[in-house]
Structure 1
Amino acid sequence: MASLHVFVCLLGLVVLCHSQCIFQELMIKDLKNPPKGCVDNDGKEHDFGSEWVRDCMSCSCTRDGLSCCKMIPDPDAENIPAECELLVDKKTCSAKVVQKSDNTKECTPL
């Protein structure tokens, strides 16, 4: 029984850790006036070495560029059994796979 619990936990980690990331390379337009950070899609500048979370995206700025990864998986990209669904909480940027018939119970593997 303990092995089943370990397997379920590992399965959950695989589903929740599978994330989509984007990287935007730092563009230097003027060598005399190099950038002091990264500019996000909203036009906000972030200092090199900074990290932040916005809309369940974990982002960081380095001298190489801007990197952002989804904190919650895409339900369409996951292999979720038909009797289960991905329950997403955007307030906490978390997700879990639960039974469709009772979303208080997490799904167990076949």
Structure 2
Amino acid sequence: MASFRVFVCLLGLVVLCDSACYFQKLVVKDLNNPPKECVDKDGKQHGFGSEWVRDCMACSCTSEGLSCCSMIPALSTVDIPDECEMVVNKETCTAKMLLKSDTTKECNLM
């Protein structure tokens, strides 16, 4: 069980270190009336200092702009043994390593 905990911690580091992220710089069109919020890809406005999650992307708005990072690791960043598969739950924004032969059981990676 301890090896699984180590794996979960390492998976968390992978998410933090190698997630798909993007930054959209805040555009100031009028210096006399600078923006007070960010506008996301759906056109929704978010005030400076706000944070939210949408489609498993953790986003935040600052006076510099809008930044978002995926909460789920990219498959290319995780070394998955042949007998295992990564199963993503987009409702909870989590990923598990499960046995291909029995998806009710988690992989023993160590």
The TM-score normalised by the length of structure 1 is: 0.86
Residues 16 and 95 in structure 1, CA contact (< 8 A), matched pair in contact too: no
Aligned to 1:52: 52
Aligned length: 106
Deviates more, 1:35-44 or 1:17-26: 17-26
1:28 — aligned with what?
A: 28
Residue 16 of structure 1: how far off its partner (Å): 4.0
Q: Does 1:13 align with 2:9?
A: yes
Following superposition, the deviation at residue 77 of structure 1 comes to: 3.1
AA partner of residue 12 (structure 1): V
**1:12 CA drift (Å):** 2.1
Q: Secondary structure at the match of 1:79?
A: coil
Query: 2:12 & 2:107 partners in 1: Cα distance?
Result: 13
Deviation at 1:13, TM superposition (A): 2.6
Post-superposition Cα deviations, 1:44-88, rounded to whole Å, max 9, x if no partner, equal 111001111111111110111111111112223321111110111
Q: Distance in 2 between matches of 1:20 and 1:86?
A: 17
State how far apart, in whole Å, the 2-side matches of 1:9 and 1:21 are.
26
Q: 1:16 to 1:7 in 2, by over 3 A?
A: same
Q: Deviations over 1:77-104 (max 9, x none)?
A: 3211111101111111111111111111
Q: Which piece of structure 1 moves more, 68-77 or 92-101?
A: 68-77
Structure 2 gaps of 5+ residues are: none
Unaligned runs of 5+ in 1: none
SS in 2 for 1:76: helix
Where does structure 1 differ by over 4 angstroms across 4 or more consecutive aligned residues? none
Aligned alpha-carbon RMSD (Å): 1.5
Residue 100 of structure 1 corresponds to 100
CA distance in 2, matches of 1:57, 1:73: 11
